[in-house]
Chain A
Amino acid sequence: MSGRHSLTGAHVGVAIAAFAVASALGVLQAMSLADIGFPHRDESLYYIILTAHGVLMALVFTTFFIMGLGYALAQESLGRITGRRVAWVGFWLAAAGSVAAAVTILMGKSTVLYTFYPPLQAHPVFYIGATLLVVGSWLWGGVMLASYRSWRRENPGRPVPLSMHGILATVVIWYLATAGLAAEVLGMLIPWSLGMVPKIDPLVARTLFWWFGHPLVYFWLLPAYVLWYTVLPQVAGGKLFSDRLARLAFILFVLLSTPVGFHHQFEDPGISAGWKLAHTVATYAVMFPSFMTAFTVIASLEVAGRRKGAKGLFDWIPRLPWGDPVFAAIALAMIGFAFGGFGGAINAAYAMNSMVHNTAWIQAHLHVTLGTTVVLSFMGATYWLLPRMLGRELRFRGLARVQPYLWFLGMVIFSTSYHVAGLRGLPRRIYSATLTGEYPQWHGLAVLAATGAVLLFLSALSFVTVTFATWIGGRKAPAPAFEFAVPLRPAVAGLWDRFGLWTVVAVVLVAVAYAYPLIHLLMQPRYPSGPYQPF
C-alpha cells in the first residue's frame, strides 16, 4: 500500500475485521430466534452476541469505514490530509476503545445492547471504550476540517469538490449528534458506572441517546450518498445530473437530521404529544433530500445508459454495468433504500408507530437501511478502493461479482420475514420466537429469516475472502485513478457551500427542538434509578 493511503488502509481493515466477526454472530442470532439449535446456545450467549453484533456493526464497522473513506476522499479530491499525526492518534484511540468495549461485552460484563439504556448498567470500560471510539472520530472530523481549510486557502472562491462537500456535511452532523451522546455518556453513564453518582434518570438518558441516535443514521448514510453522487455515475460511464441539487441535499441533511429524535420515543412517557408531533414534521422534511438524491442519481445513470446508445424509455437500465461489483453493490444499495425509506415513513407516522414499535419490524427496517443501503454501498466502495489504494487487481472477481446479489437476495428474505412477523406482533431482540407457544406463525417466519441470514453470512464470507485475498495476493497492476463523476453543468460556488452559516442554523434548530422538552423533563419532580445487572 502506498503511504498516501495508509490511513484509509488501516481504518478500512479494522472496519472489515469488525464486520467479519459481527456477521458470524448475526447468523447465530437469527438461528437462535428460530429455535435452531447449535452448540452452547443459551439465553446468555444470545444476548451477549446480540450486544456484540450491534456494537460491532452499527458503531465500529460504520465509524471506521467512514473515517477511512473520508481520508481517501480528502487525499484524492483535495490532494492532502492535513494533520496525519492527529489522524493516527485518532485511529489508535478508536481502535483501543473498540477492543476494550468488545472485550467487556464478550466477557459478559456489558450485556446492554448497542443502545445501552440505563438503568441496565454495563462495565465502566464499556462506556469508556465507546467514548474513545467517538473521541477518535472527533479527531478524524478535525482532520477533515483542517484539510478543507488548507485547500480553501489555496483555492479561494472555488466550490469544494462534491465528494468533500458531502464529507463536510457528515462531519457537521457527527459533531451535532455526538454532543447529545457526550452529555449522556460523560455526564451520566460514566460517573454512574464508577459509583460517583448513585442514580440517574433513565428517560433523560434515553432522550439524549436519541438526540444522537437519529443523526447517527445520517452519519452512516451521507458517505453512502457521496458514493452514489460522485462514484456511481462515473463507474457507470455517465455524468452527474445536477451538482447544485446534490449540494442542496447535503445542506438539508445538515439542517434536518438532528431535530427528529422523538420519533424513536413515540411510545415514551414524560414527553408531551405536541413535541412528538413537532419532531414528526421535521422527520418527514428530512425525507425530501433523499427524494432529491433518488432523482439526481437515477438521472445520472440514465445519462450513462444513453451515452451507451440507449434510445427507449427504459433500455438504458440493462446497458448499465451490472456485472461490475462496484456498480452492482452500490446500485442494489439504492434499490434497498427505496424500501427502507418507505418503511421509515411508516415508523415516523406518529400514532401509527404503535403498530410497529419494538417489534421485529424494527430490526427488519434497520437491516434494509443500514444493513443494505449502507453496507452494500461500503462493499462497493471497498471494491472501488482496493485496486486504487493497493495497486492490485481484485482476486476472485467472479465471487466479487455474485456477492452483492447474494447479499441483496438474503436481505430480501431476511427483512421481509421480520417485517411481516413484526406486524404480527413478534417483539424484537428475543432469544426465541416460540416460547409463548401461542403464535406458531412467528416460528415459520423466524425460520425463513434464518435462511436469509445464512445467505447473508455466505455473502459476507465471500466479501471478506475477496478483500483479504486481494490485499495479500492480488496481482500487481498499475493503480487506476480515483475519478469522480463530472457534472453536466460545471459546479460554481454558492449559498450551499457556506458551511459556517448552515452549521449555525442547524444548531439553532437543535436548540429549538430539544431545549424546552429537556428543561421540562429536568424541572419536574424526578425519581432517578440505581444500577441493575439482570444478566
Chain B
Amino acid sequence: MNVELYERMWMWGASALLLLFVGAIFVTAGVYAIHPPSHVETVDPEALATSPEFGNPAVTVQPDGSVVVTVVASLFSFSPDPIEVPADRPVTFRLTSADVLHGFQIVGTNGNAMVVPGYVSQFTMTFHEPGEYLIVCNEYCGLMHHGMLGKLIVRKESK
C-alpha cells in the first residue's frame, strides 16, 4: 500500500506512544504489582447475617500485624461506620453488598471498588496521612444514593 511519508511517520509515532502507554501499565502491573481490585470470591448475600466474616463486619488485626476491614454495604449505609485503622500499616478491605450494586470510594485516595451482591471485592492499601476520610457510594443505588456516606479514621499509632 502506497502511504505518504508524513503519514507513515505519524503512524509510527502513534504506535510508539501507544506502546509507551501499554509498556508503562505492564511495568507497574508486573514489577510493582499495581492492579485494580480483581479478587474472585463469591458469598451468599442472603446469608450474610450468619456468615462468620460478614455477620459482624469489623476491623480486625491479623497475627502478622496487618489489618483486615470487612464492610457490608446496604441501602443506604456502610457497616461498620466509622472505620478506624492505624496509619502506616497495610489495610485490606473486604467488601460485599447485602442488596444492590454499590461503590466504595475513599475520597482523596486510590481506594475505589465496585461492591456487588454475591461477590467479595478486595483491595489493600496503606494510609500514611492520619486524619478523617470521607467514604462515598459512587454507584447509583436508589433514591438516597447521594446520602450513602461513611467515615474512615486513620490514627497515628503511639509507639
Contact B143 A534 (CB under 8 A): yes
State whether A269 and B45 are in contact (beta carbons under 8 Å apart), knowing that A276-B36, A429-B140 are contacts in the complex.
no
A268 at the B interface (CB under 8 A): yes
Contact A120 B100 (CB under 8 A): yes
Chain B residues touching A, range: 35 or more
State whether A350 and B118 are in contact (beta carbons under 8 Å apart), knowing that A345-B21, A425-B108 are contacts in the complex.
no
Contact B22 A269 (CB under 8 A): no
* Chain B, range 12-69, C-beta contacts under 8 Å to A: 14-15, 18, 21-22, 25-26, 28-29, 34-46
* Chain A, range 230-284, C-beta contacts under 8 Å to B: 241-242, 244-245, 248, 265-273, 276-277, 280-281, 284
Contact A203 B116 (CB under 8 A): yes
Give B111 Cβ to nearest chain A Cβ, in Å: 7
Chain A residues touching B, range: 35 or more
B137 at the A interface (CB under 8 A): yes
Binary per-residue interface labels of chain A (335-349) against chain B in the complex, 1 for a CB within 8 Å, 0 otherwise: 000000000010001
A119 to B140 alpha-carbon distance, docked (Å): 12
Contact B103 A242 (CB under 8 A): no
Contacts of B73 in A (CB 8 A): none
A199 to B33 alpha-carbon distance, docked (Å): 36
Cβ-neighbour of B35 out of A244, A245, A351 (below 8 A): A351
Contacts of B39 in A (CB 8 A): 269
Binary per-residue interface labels of chain A (269-308) against chain B in the complex, 1 for a CB within 8 Å, 0 otherwise: 1111100110011001101100110011001000000000
The closest CB in chain B to the CB of A265 belongs to B114
Cβ-neighbour of B116 out of A269, A281, A432 (below 8 A): A269
A44 to B45 alpha-carbon distance, docked (Å): 27
Give B39 Cβ to nearest chain A Cβ, in Å: 5
Cβ-neighbour of A527 out of B21, B46, B144 (below 8 A): B46
Cβ-neighbour of A429 out of B21, B113, B116, B145 (below 8 A): B145
A358 to B2 alpha-carbon distance, docked (Å): 44
A interface, CB within 8 angstroms of B: 43-44, 47, 111, 113, 117, 119-120, 201-203, 206, 241-242, 244-245, 248, 265-273, 276-277, 280-281, 284-285, 287-288, 291-292, 295-296, 299, 345, 349-351, 353-355, 357-359, 424-425, 427-432, 435-436, 438-439, 489, 524-529, 532, 534-535
Known contacts A268-B38, A436-B136, then 14 further A-B pairs from the complex at CB < 8 Å, ordered by chain A residue: A120-B142, A245-B7, A268-B121, A269-B114, A273-B38, A291-B10, A351-B25, A357-B138, A358-B112, A424-B107, A427-B136, A427-B138, A431-B145, A532-B75
